[in-house]
Structure 1
Amino acid sequence: MKAQLLLPVAVVLGAAVLSSLFIVDEREKALVLQFGQVKQVKEEPGLGFKIPLIQEVVKYDARILGLPTQPLEVTPLDDRRLVVDAFARWRITDLVEFREAVGVGGIDAAQTRLDRILNAAIREVLGAVPSNRVLSEDRTALMNQIRDRARAESGALGIEVIDVRLTRTDLPEQNLAATFARMRAEREREAADEIARGGEAAQRVRATADRTVVELTSEARRMAEVARGEADAERNGIYAEAFGRDPEFFAFTRSLTSYERALQSGNSSIVMQPDSEFFTYLRSDVAPADRGVAPAAAPTPAPAAPAPTTAP
Structure 2
Amino acid sequence: MKKYFITIVLLFAFLFMYFALFIVQEGQRGLVLRFGKVLRDKNNTPTIYQPGMHIKIPFIETVKHLDAKIQTMENQADRFVTMEKKDLIIDSYIKWKIIDFSRYYLATGGGDVSQGEVLLKRKFSDRLRSELGKLDVKGIVTDSRNRLMSDVRSALNNGTSGNEEEEILYNKKIFDNKIINSEYIPQEIEIHPNSMAALGIKVVDVRIKQINLPSEVSDAIYQRMRAEREAVARSHRSQGKEEAEKLRAAADYQVARILAEAKKQSLIIKGEADAETAKLYAFSFNADPEFYVFIRSLRAYENSFKGNQDLILIDSSNNFLRFMNNSNK
Question: What's the TM-score bracket when you normalise by the shorter of the two chains?
Answer: 0.7 to 0.9
Query: Could you tell me which residue of structure 1 aligns to residue 127 of structure 2?
Result: 121
Aligned to 1:103, the other structure's residue is in SS state coil
Give the letter aligned to residue 51 of structure 1: I
Matched, 1:41 2:83: no
Whether 1:32 aligns to 2:74 is no
Q: What whole-Å deviation, never above 9, does each CA across 1:273-309 have from its counterpart, x for those lacking one? A: 33333223222597xxxx6xxxxxxxxxxxxxxxxxx
* 1:148-227 equivalent positions in 2, closer than 5 A: 148-152=154-158, 153-227=195-269
Distance, in Å, in 1 between the alignment partners of 2:307 and 2:129 is: 110
Post-superposition offset of 1:266:
8.9
What residue in structure 1 maps to residue 150 of structure 2? Answer: 144
After TM superposition, the structure 1 = structure 2 runs for residues 285-304 of structure 1, keeping only pairs within 5 Å, are none
Q: Which residue of 1 aligns with 2:282?
A: 240
Once the 2 structures are TM-superposed, how far is the Cα of residue 10 of structure 1 from its aligned partner? 0.8
Change (3 A) 1:141 1:183: same
Aligned in 2, Cα 1:234/1:80: closer, same or farther, shift over 3 Å?
Answer: same
CA 1:137 to 1:244, structure 2 compared with 1: closer, same or farther past 3 Å? farther
Residue of structure 2 aligned with 1:103, choices 77, 102, 109: 109
Rg bigger for which structure?
A: 1
On the 8 A contact 2:104/2:111 being kept in 1, the answer is no
Distance 1:125 1:238, change over 3 A: same
Post-superposition shift, 1:247?
Answer: 3.0
1:147 deviates by 2.2
Structure 1 unmatched ranges of 5 or more: 292-312
Q: 1:130-141 maps to which residues of 2 (within 5 A)?
A: 130-136=136-142, 139-141=145-147
SS at structure 2 position matched to 1:10: helix
Does structure 1 residue 92 correspond to structure 2 residue 134? no
What is the CA-CA distance between 1:158 and the residue it aligns to?
1.4
Partner of 1:73: 79
1:264 aligns with 2:271: no
How far apart are the structure 1 equivalents of 2:202 and 2:309?
124
- State the distance in 2 between where 1:125 and 1:234 align: 100
RMSD (Å) for aligned C-alpha atoms: 2.2
- In 2, the alpha carbon distance for the partners of 1:158 and 1:107 equals 12
Residues 203, 267 of structure 1: CA spacing in aligned structure 2 closer, same or farther, 3 A cutoff?
A: farther
Q: Which has the higher contact order (CA 8 A, sep 6+)?
A: 2
Please name the residue that 2:7 is paired with. Answer: 7
Alpha-carbon deviations, 1:158-206, whole Å to 9, x = none?
A: 1111111112211112222222221211111111111111111111111
TM-score scaled by structure 1?
0.84
Q: Contact between 2:75 and 2:91, CA under 8 Å: does it hold in 1?
A: yes
Question: What is the identity, as a one-letter code, of the residue corresponding to 1:18?
Answer: Y
Whichever residue aligns with residue 110 of structure 2, its letter is V
Q: 1:275 to 1:80 in 2, by over 3 A?
A: farther
The percentage of counterpart residues that share the same residue type is 32
How much does 1:257 deviate? 2.0
Provide, for residues 228-265 of structure 1, a one-character-per-residue CA deviation record: whole Å limited to 9, x for no partner: 11111222222223333333333332222222222223
Q: Deviations over 1:9-33 (max 9, x none)?
A: 1111112012211112222122111
SS in 2 for 1:104: coil
Which residue, out of 277, 282, 300, partners 2:324? 282
Alpha-carbon distance in structure 1 between the residues aligned to 2:78 and 2:321: 119
Q: How many residues are treated as equivalent by the alignment?
A: 286
2:92 is the alignment partner of 1:50: no
SS in 2 for 1:264: coil
In structure 2, runs of 5+ residues without a counterpart are: 40-46, 159-194
Aligned amino acid, residue 97 of structure 1: R
1:112 Cα deviation after fit: 0.6
Q: Which residue type is aligned with residue 134 of structure 1? A: I
How far apart, in 2, do the equivalents of 1:232 and 1:164 lie?
A: 99
Distance 1:11 1:207, change over 3 A: same
Instruction: Write the letter of the residue equivalent to 2:148.
Output: L
TM-score, normalised on structure 2? Answer: 0.80
User: In structure 2, how many angstroms separate the alpha carbons of the residues matched to 1:64 and 1:72?
Assistant: 24
* Counterpart for residue 293 of structure 2: 251
- 1:41 and 1:181 map into 2 onto residues whose CA distance is 60
